[in-house]
Chains A and B, each alone.
Chain A
Amino acid sequence: MSLILPGSYRREDAGQPPSLYPDYGSTVSRSPREPLVKIPHTLTETTGPANAWSRLMGESMADLTSQHNGEPLGQRIVVSGRVLDDDGRPVPHTVVEVWQANAAGRYIHKKDQWDAPLDPNFTGAGRVITDAEGRYRFISVRPGAYPWRNHHNAWRPSHIHLSLLGPAFATRLVTQMYFPDDPLIEIDPIANAVPMPYRQRMVSRFDIETTEPNWALGYVFDIVLRGKDATPFENGQ
């Protein structure tokens, strides 16, 4: 019986973080110690709910600044980019879910209780779908940095969480987008779980073309998912 089905996806590349990264303390008791069992891609891994996202999650919410009665405080931003696979091909019609803290660095989540103000006009959750060329775009405010309890005087750099389904179970990705020239990135254990230079793949680029006059700063963030792979699976690799 052949284990190989056409349509396998490439394995993770050298830029992916390990599950255990002790500088990020929560990984110590939450990462497996047994080796992962490498398996070939069956239909289970090469299919996914790519075409059903709107039935599941709902329609697009691309403007995070117009979800309440008033305007949120903070620096308005436009984030745009393309979703590609690692052959450089666009990934069309795929959902990108986003969530983030407000401009003061506070999440609307009830378990985020640090002493920064909530903004009644900002939730920080959105959802966009890529077009036929893999492009996406959403409007938000630049999130603030915030402290966390990982180590003494620990601060997370400004970041936006992004979640992508891609075409298959195997192409799932959840990442964080960082902002250029943020001095907190290089001392952040979560970002640094990804070794350089790959860490730079998570840093967006300020872009004057994306910037809207008298309205919002523009950042470009391209996201690369795993592409198709024709390499045969060899058990025991």
Chain B
Amino acid sequence: MTPEQARPAPRQDSQDPAIFGQTPWQTVGPFFHYGLPWKGGADLVGTSDIGARPELMPPEHYLLASPSPKGEIAGETIVLEGVVVDAEGQIIPDAMIEIWQADAAGHYAEGNTGFVGFGRASTGEDGTYRFRTVLPGSIGEGHAPHIAVGVFGRGLLKRLVTRVYFEGDPANASDPILALVPPERRGTLMARKQDGAWRFDIVLQGERETVFFDV
């Protein structure tokens, strides 16, 4: 029998018109560290290697990028850090955080030079993530400075999306997205200055559960 005579196999991919649509999310699982978080991925302003967990793979199998020079970056350098915890308050050592933010002037930089407001950080064995970045500017009238956050990990079938706002910024009172959050829960979106860093813990479930957005 030639291939032409064979009965064609049923289509099983996402282009079958009967099932065409958005490809479903799936968890990153526990073993993403050699595939996603690169050295320096959590340093948006310098050339440190924070963000990756190279100790979780043999050195000859570390194939991800190394820190790249960013050049002169305008604005106030900040550290954004916190822990990720579950419903029982247990720290999560196998989560990954992504951020997306404007530069100090409030512009989303997508170009080939200068600041790129995207970062990726693994949590450590202590559940902590840490970014070095700049304090973002306002993206437009009424919008308070903020950083968009995606949370990934084992047990997270799809990304959870939240935002970091900065406690004490007077623009928080007029921010149109914060206004959609019940007032008693807005505090979960506020990073607080602590020991020179902006502290933003992410609580996946339970008391003081972080506000997550449907975007």
Contact = CB atoms under 8 A, between A and B. Distances in A.
Contacts of A228: none
B1 interface: no
Contact of A30 (B29, B66, B156, B177): B156
Interface in B56-107: 56-58, 60-61, 63-66, 68, 86-88, 90, 92, 94, 98, 100-102
Contacts of A52: 109-112, 116, 118
Interface residues of A, number: 96
A15 B36 contact: no
A16 B181 contact: no
A50 B118 CA distance: 10
Contact of B29 (A161, A169, A202): A161
Interface in B16-64: 16, 18-36, 38, 41, 55-58, 60-61, 63-64
Interface string A1-35: 10100000011111111110100111111111110
Contact of B158 (A3, A19, A81, A107): A19
B171 interface: no
Interface residues of B, number: 91
B209 A29 contact: no
Contact of B57 (A68, A108, A191): A108
B159 interface: yes
Contacts of B109: 52
Contact of B27 (A12, A42, A190): A190
B23 A224 contact: yes
A48 B110 contact: yes
Contacts of A55: 68, 112, 116
B132 interface: no
Contact of A42 (B20, B139, B155): B139
B23 A44 contact: no
Nearest to B98: A172
Secondary structure class of chain A's binding surface, majority of residues: loop
Interface string A138-174: 0000000000000000000000010100000110111
Secondary structure class of chain B's binding surface, majority of residues: loop
Given A174-B152, A193-B157, A198-B21, A109 B57 contact: yes
Given A16-B22, A111-B94, A201-B13, 16 more contacts: A10-B22, A15-B24, A18-B157, A24-B155, A28-B155, A30-B87, A30-B155, A32-B212, A33-B205, A34-B209, A44-B101, A49-B116, A88-B20, A99-B34, A163-B35, A176-B26
28 contacts: A17-B24, A19-B157, A19-B160, A30-B92, A30-B153, A31-B156, A33-B206, A43-B139, A48-B118, A52-B116, A57-B64, A109-B57, A110-B57, A111-B31, A112-B31, A125-B35, A172-B98, A173-B22, A174-B26, A174-B28, A175-B26, A180-B9, A190-B27, A201-B22, A204-B12, A205-B11, A225-B22, A225-B23
Interface of A: 1, 3, 10-19, 21, 24-34, 36-39, 41-45, 47-52, 55-58, 61, 67-68, 81, 86, 88, 97-99, 101, 107-112, 120, 123-125, 161, 163, 169-170, 172-176, 180, 190-191, 193-194, 197-206, 208, 220-226, 235
Interface of B: 3, 9, 11-16, 18-36, 38, 41, 55-58, 60-61, 63-66, 68, 86-88, 90, 92, 94, 98, 100-102, 108-112, 116-118, 139-143, 146, 148, 150, 152-160, 163, 176-177, 180-181, 185, 204-206, 209-215
